[in-house]
Structure 1
Amino acid sequence: MKQLVFGFILAVQFLTRIPVPIACPWNKNTSIWAIRSYPFVGVILGSILAVLLYFVEPYLPLGMMALLTISVWVWLTGGLHLDGWMDVADAIGSNAPLERKWEIMKDPIVGSFGHIALLFLLAWKTMFIYNLFESDLPIYSFIFIIALSRLGAVVLLIVLPVAKKQGLAWEWKKNVNRLDGLYAALPVIGIVWFFPDFLYFIPAYIVFIFLFGIWVKVKFKGINGDLLGTAIEGGELWGLVIAWMYFSFVMA
């Protein structure tokens, strides 16, 4: 039980800005439980966002609601995954050989492709959030989107090879297996059980994970931390798109 708690705290400390001033040991067991906790941390982030929106919704116009949502969303994660998104955009935009792409992703300086990719990502997210508020999207939908995006990253970490036997992704991967993916899926299974109307998210994310995994294999031959961050950011945008399509066309 202690290893579970330490692993969960490690996941919160790594994935969020939520202050948890507790020193946790890093070992095989705690790292496994940290990975298993990724989607549950997503549930917590989505719940914080949903509660905030519930209280401010009566007082703000839709445009300000959308901007507040994306601002708090980014703040809660500290922009961690956005950094990976920008690094990958710079690598892809370079059209360089594979080894050079890895060097570009390690470079702490963000290039023009990274800035452009960040701008469009946040713009599209904000636009979809705005339109979803117009469509009376249940605010707890963000719980599904944020949790499933992190579950997708866990699945990709488990099923894809790591690009290099070094770095954070390698440290995470060397101790996990498919059973850990099942543990990680339990929070998502639980919320879908209580809210079966959102079952449509599941096949949509299966498609996303499959396509993103193929793209990673073709372009990079393996996964790393930046690509996992990109999977989370891309998964969140994908979830917003799917929700918008569902509420705009199916429910309409």
Structure 2
Amino acid sequence: MKDALWGLVLALQFLTRIPLPVACPWTPETRRWAVRSYPLVGLLIGGVLVLVALLLQNAPVPITALAVLSVWVALSGGLHLDGVMDIADALGSNQPLARRWEIMKDSQVGSFGILVLVFLLAWKGILLWALLHYQAPLWWLVAMPALGRWAGVALLVLTPCAQSQGLAWSWQQSLSGQDVALALLPMALLALLVPSTVLMLLAVAVFVMLMRGAMMRLFNGINGDMVGATIEGGELWLLILLWSWWQFVTVSPLGI
């Protein structure tokens, strides 16, 4: 039980900007529990986003959408966006594999990274705007950050690291497929309340498989940047699918 609590604190420290000035023990057990807690941290983030949306429900929809997106990014400190930019710079360079890895390790952000960041945030903001405009039930805003972080866990555990070094590799040594399954437990209650959560999980699982195949082909493995990019990409993937669904429901003359 103590390791589980330390794992939750470690996950909060790693995934959010919530100030928790506590020195967590860095052991295989706390790392395992931290990864299992990733979706739980996502549910916390989602709960805050729902609260923001409810507080601004009488404001113009574009302002509400921008506020939700701003809090979304602020809570994570842009941690996962950094991974997206690094991968964009590496792939945009059109260089051999060894050079792509060098570019990913460079702390400076290039033009491709900035362009992808702008379009990623723009698409997220517009899709949030559309879903809020359609008055979609806000449970999706709770589930999305949790499932996005589960996607990161699944990629980390089920895909070999390209190099035997780095933070992702050190985490991976403590993990197994059991942790991927246990990480879903925080979603069980939400799935009982909203069965459609299961469909979202299946959609995210498809995204993880696609991401795994792409990273193995392009980089011969993964690193921490790719785990972060999977979280961001999984959230965008769900936003697109949810928008498509609510667009159909709203526009369909059958109303189904």
TM-score over 0.5 for the pair: yes
User: Aligned partners of 1:197 and 1:158: how far apart in 2?
Assistant: 25
Q: Is the 8 A contact 1:47 1:140 kept in 2?
A: no
For 2:173, the equivalent position in structure 1 comes to 174
User: Aligned partners of 1:172 and 1:206: how far apart in 2?
Assistant: 21
User: Aligned partners of 1:218 and 1:34: how far apart in 2?
Assistant: 29
Give the drift of 1:66: 1.0
Aligned partner of 2:129: which letter? Y
User: Aligned partners of 2:25 and 2:202: how far apart in 1?
Assistant: 37
Which SS does the other structure have where 1:199 is aligned? Answer: helix
Is 1:37 the counterpart of 2:37? The answer is: yes
Q: Is the 8 A contact 1:54 1:139 kept in 2?
A: no
Which SS does the other structure have where 2:56 is aligned? Answer: helix
Q: Is the 8 A contact 2:156 2:172 kept in 1?
A: yes
User: Aligned partners of 1:161 and 1:198: how far apart in 2?
Assistant: 28
User: Aligned partners of 1:63 and 1:179: how far apart in 2?
Assistant: 41
Q: Which moved more, 1:12-21 or 1:203-212?
A: 203-212
The two structures, once aligned, show a CA RMSD in angstroms of 1.1
User: Aligned partners of 1:107 and 1:90: how far apart in 2?
Assistant: 10
- Runs of 4 or more above 4 Å deviation: none
For 2:48, the equivalent position in structure 1 comes to 48
User: Aligned partners of 1:28 and 1:189: how far apart in 2?
Assistant: 25
Give the drift of 1:215: 0.7
Which runs of structure 2 are paired with 1:194-209 in the superposition (5 Å)?
194-209=193-208
Give the drift of 1:198: 3.4
For 2:186, the equivalent position in structure 1 comes to 187
Q: TM-score, normalised by structure 1?
A: 0.97
For 1:15, the equivalent position in structure 2 comes to 15
For 2:80, the equivalent position in structure 1 comes to 81
Aligned partner of 1:230: which letter? A
Q: Structure 1 stretches of 5 or more lacking a match?
A: none
User: Aligned partners of 2:122 and 2:79: how far apart in 1?
Assistant: 18
Q: Is the 8 A contact 2:32 2:174 kept in 1?
A: yes
Which SS does the other structure have where 2:221 is aligned? Answer: coil
Q: Is the 8 A contact 2:190 2:197 kept in 1?
A: no
Give the drift of 1:140: 2.6
Which SS does the other structure have where 1:161 is aligned? Answer: coil
Which runs of structure 2 are paired with 1:1-252 in the superposition (5 Å)?
1-58=1-58, 60-250=59-249, 252=252
Give the drift of 1:189: 2.5
User: Aligned partners of 2:34 and 2:97: how far apart in 1?
Assistant: 30
Give the drift of 1:207: 1.4
Give the drift of 1:41: 0.5
Identity in percent: 46
What CA deviation, in whole Å up to 9, does each residue of 1:81-134 have, x standing for no partner?
A: 000000000001011111111111110000000000000000011110111111
User: Aligned partners of 1:223 and 1:106: how far apart in 2?
Assistant: 13
Q: TM-score, normalised by structure 2?
A: 0.95
User: Aligned partners of 2:18 and 2:49: how far apart in 1?
Assistant: 13
Q: Which moved more, 1:88-97 or 1:200-209?
A: 200-209
User: Aligned partners of 1:94 and 1:211: how far apart in 2?
Assistant: 22
Give the drift of 1:53: 1.3
Q: Is the 8 A contact 1:10 1:34 kept in 2?
A: yes
Report the number of matched residues: 251
Aligned partner of 2:154: which letter? V
